[in-house]
Chains A and B, each alone.
Chain A
């Protein structure tokens, strides 16, 4: 199995983002997804910056993929999408069907991203015909879905599973980080840059429940399939997606790499893995690490 670093979900200052990807070049990861997938207002890095990073990572032996926005609302969002699709060098992860249309029209192979809602082999089959070389299971899907699809998986397609990080659960037109500060999204003062790991939402009895990242809502718990790796391998998973967090990403990648090599390296955290087991996502089945 290969390890992938998912797109950075958060909004970090420019230098922090550049430094992070500089360090990724030395991390034990095979594939790196790059680009803004959450909010079109974020602009610490532009496409050209990501193309530079992609080139550097490619030089370091990584496969770089450009991820597209999940929620495309405006003509300027579409312009940015077209530029990513037309980059001519790196594979693109399509995160909504507009991207699929543009990629398919040009006959460019692509990654069918986790928000395309691929829940059955018929849908995956037709996306494969349109050029999908890899698909990312929706995070809410689990082993049963994959087992059901396996006999009918398109030949040669790679299966990627979200394996570590705060699970992206929902997307909205509204920004909940801006809402926290009584600001409108159009005038948000980019408050999310102050929350490099998201903003914690607790229940009224203090249980950590969700994490807000601009227009995206994530799980508060860290999804962690490290202990489930043998089962993932047996289920036919080709790639494990690790979602970047502000701290510890290198250690997480190292732990997954070690596990793939047969060595156990424990990780600490408030973990969950319910989705993979067909349970509510926040549950932890068995031991996490």
Chain B
């Protein structure tokens, strides 16, 4: 049997401390963004300015770790120059790849920086090999991040039919909607993941203690109400409790984290090239913890995929940092659908 294809562990860096935590704990790549709406985690207090990014790149490169810059929102005519400037800056700083969603921006990057490696962002919503091959033929993308909507069999079908490296999400918060195809936040708040790089923005959130319980509102819309002692969550629209007929329940999605650790041998076997950990908005401690466990798991798995089983201690540690303190196999596992 051939040696398994190496798998890169791609970890989130919302800031310099998280970047260092990822590098120190075994990431092969870190991904990061600039401090503006050119990336899909445009949150106050997150991301990199020029100095911190240069330092981060130096820190990562000195230790053999790649730096990927996410420029994965959709520019519009009036702000187009800011996105192209961000592409130029990333190229000038010597990042290892940029992660893009907008075809126009890909064409620009290919033209202006022919040697810069391009990854197709999950925000590009490419869920089949015809779509991925389109981006490959037209813009030379070398890797695609798959939206979290495909079953394992469907992922394998993609890999079998494209020369593009495939990256999948392994762990972290889970968008139940196809990334790049969700305007729920835009509808409720005017802030759009596609154009503004944020979903359910903090400025639209209100927490209020009422006689009925603790209420969370988004631009005035009641997203959930918690009884005394209930675990509360951020009011992301798709994770709220709503009424259908007379019944109140998580009408779209129960808050849970994606955790695909148990599929690792399958992912290795089918030739996945990279596993992404979600969470640029999470703490450096989260990044350190999750990176460390996934590093150990991937190394174990690559040594002997046939004998791999997730350790109970890994699962327990990962559950502790999960959203909603539970996890799901997501769409990789058909029953979730």
Q: 16 A-B Cβ contacts within 8 A?
A: A73-B127, A77-B128, A169-B183, A172-B178, A175-B337, A184-B334, A200-B244, A201-B243, A201-B244, A202-B243, A204-B243, A212-B244, A212-B251, A219-B187, A280-B187, A282-B188
Give chain B's interface residue range (CB within 8 Å of chain A): 35 or more
Interface presence of A140 (CB below 8 A): yes
Question: Are B128 and A73 closer than 8 Å at their CB atoms?
Answer: yes
Interface residues of chain A, those whose CB is within 8 Å of chain B, are 70-75, 77-78, 81, 96-102, 104, 115, 117, 119-127, 138-141, 144-145, 148-149, 152, 167, 169-176, 179-180, 184-186, 199-207, 209-210, 212, 217, 219, 274-275, 278-282
Question: Are A140 and B244 closer than 8 Å at their CB atoms?
Answer: no
B contact residues around A123 at 8 Å (CB): 102-104
A contact residues around B194 at 8 Å (CB): 117, 119, 138, 140
B40-48, B129-137, B280-288, B305-313 - interface stretch: B129-137
B contact residues around A73 at 8 Å (CB): 127-128, 149-151, 154
0/1 interface trace, chain B 283-302, chain A, CB 8 Å (1 if under): 00000000000000000000
0/1 interface trace, chain B 134-168, chain A, CB 8 Å (1 if under): 11011000000000111100100100000000000
Given contacts A123-B104, A174-B176, A203-B221, contact A217 B74 (CB under 8 A): no
Question: Are A281 and B183 closer than 8 Å at their CB atoms?
Answer: yes
Interface presence of B211 (CB below 8 A): no
B contact residues around A125 at 8 Å (CB): 104
Q: How far is it, in angstroms, between the C-alpha of A167 and the C-alpha of B192 when the chains are bound?
A: 15
Interface presence of B239 (CB below 8 A): no
Q: Of B102, B177, B238, which is within 8 A of A117 by CB?
A: B102
Interface presence of B93 (CB below 8 A): no
Question: Are B244 and A148 closer than 8 Å at their CB atoms?
Answer: no
Q: How far is it, in angstroms, between the C-alpha of A100 and the C-alpha of B188 when the chains are bound?
A: 31
A contact residues around B125 at 8 Å (CB): 96-97, 115, 117
Closest to A223 in B: B187
- B257 CB, nearest partner CB in chain A, Å: 16
Minimum-distance CB pairs A-B, first 5: A122-B104, A148-B77, A98-B130, A173-B149, A123-B104
Question: Are B77 and A152 closer than 8 Å at their CB atoms?
Answer: yes
Q: How far is it, in angstroms, between the C-alpha of A145 and the C-alpha of B243 when the chains are bound?
A: 35
Q: Of A74, A96, A144, A186, which is within 8 A of B131 by CB?
A: A96
Question: Are A280 and B130 closer than 8 Å at their CB atoms?
Answer: no
Closest to A275 in B: B186
Question: Are A119 and B154 closer than 8 Å at their CB atoms?
Answer: no
- A44 CB, nearest partner CB in chain B, Å: 21
Given contacts A122-B104, A122-B105, contact A171 B177 (CB under 8 A): yes
Q: How far is it, in angstroms, between the C-alpha of A281 and the C-alpha of B102 when the chains are bound?
A: 22
Q: Of A77, A101, A172, A199, which is within 8 A of B244 by CB?
A: A199
- A4 CB, nearest partner CB in chain B, Å: 20
Secondary structure type dominating chain B contacts: mixed
Q: How far is it, in angstroms, between the C-alpha of A144 and the C-alpha of B253 when the chains are bound?
A: 33
Question: Are A72 and B181 closer than 8 Å at their CB atoms?
Answer: no
Secondary structure type dominating chain A contacts: mixed
Interface presence of B182 (CB below 8 A): yes
Interface presence of B189 (CB below 8 A): yes
- A243 CB, nearest partner CB in chain B, Å: 15
Question: Are A280 and B189 closer than 8 Å at their CB atoms?
Answer: yes
Question: Are B138 and A120 closer than 8 Å at their CB atoms?
Answer: no
Question: Are A280 and B188 closer than 8 Å at their CB atoms?
Answer: yes
Question: Are A117 and B101 closer than 8 Å at their CB atoms?
Answer: yes
Q: How far is it, in angstroms, between the C-alpha of A121 and the C-alpha of B79 when the chains are bound?
A: 12
Question: Are B130 and A204 closer than 8 Å at their CB atoms?
Answer: no
Q: How far is it, in angstroms, between the C-alpha of A209 and the C-alpha of B20 when the chains are bound?
A: 42
0/1 interface trace, chain B 187-231, chain A, CB 8 Å (1 if under): 111101011000000000000000000000001011111000000
Interface presence of B268 (CB below 8 A): no
B contact residues around A170 at 8 Å (CB): 177-178, 181-184, 238
Q: How far is it, in angstroms, between the C-alpha of A97 and the C-alpha of B135 when the chains are bound?
A: 8
Interface presence of B126 (CB below 8 A): yes
A contact residues around B252 at 8 Å (CB): 172, 176, 179, 212, 217
Task: List B residues 1-51 near A (Cβ within 8 Å).
Answer: none
Closest to B137 in A: A101
Q: How far is it, in angstroms, between the C-alpha of A271 and the C-alpha of B183 when the chains are bound?
A: 18
Given contacts A97-B135, A119-B195, A126-B103, contact A140 B157 (CB under 8 A): no
Question: Are B178 and A71 closer than 8 Å at their CB atoms?
Answer: yes
Given contacts A73-B127, A200-B244, A201-B242, contact A149 B101 (CB under 8 A): no
Interface-centre pick from B107, B224, B244, B253 (highest chain A CB count, 10 A)? B244
Q: How far is it, in angstroms, between the C-alpha of A280 and the C-alpha of B238 when the chains are bound?
A: 17
A contact residues around B157 at 8 Å (CB): 74-75
Q: How far is it, in angstroms, between the C-alpha of A127 and the C-alpha of B222 when the chains are bound?
A: 40
Q: How far is it, in angstroms, between the C-alpha of A70 and the C-alpha of B78 when the chains are bound?
A: 28
A contact residues around B130 at 8 Å (CB): 72, 78, 81, 97-99, 101-102
Interface presence of B115 (CB below 8 A): no
Q: Of B75, B78, B148, B244, which is within 8 A of A144 by CB?
A: B78
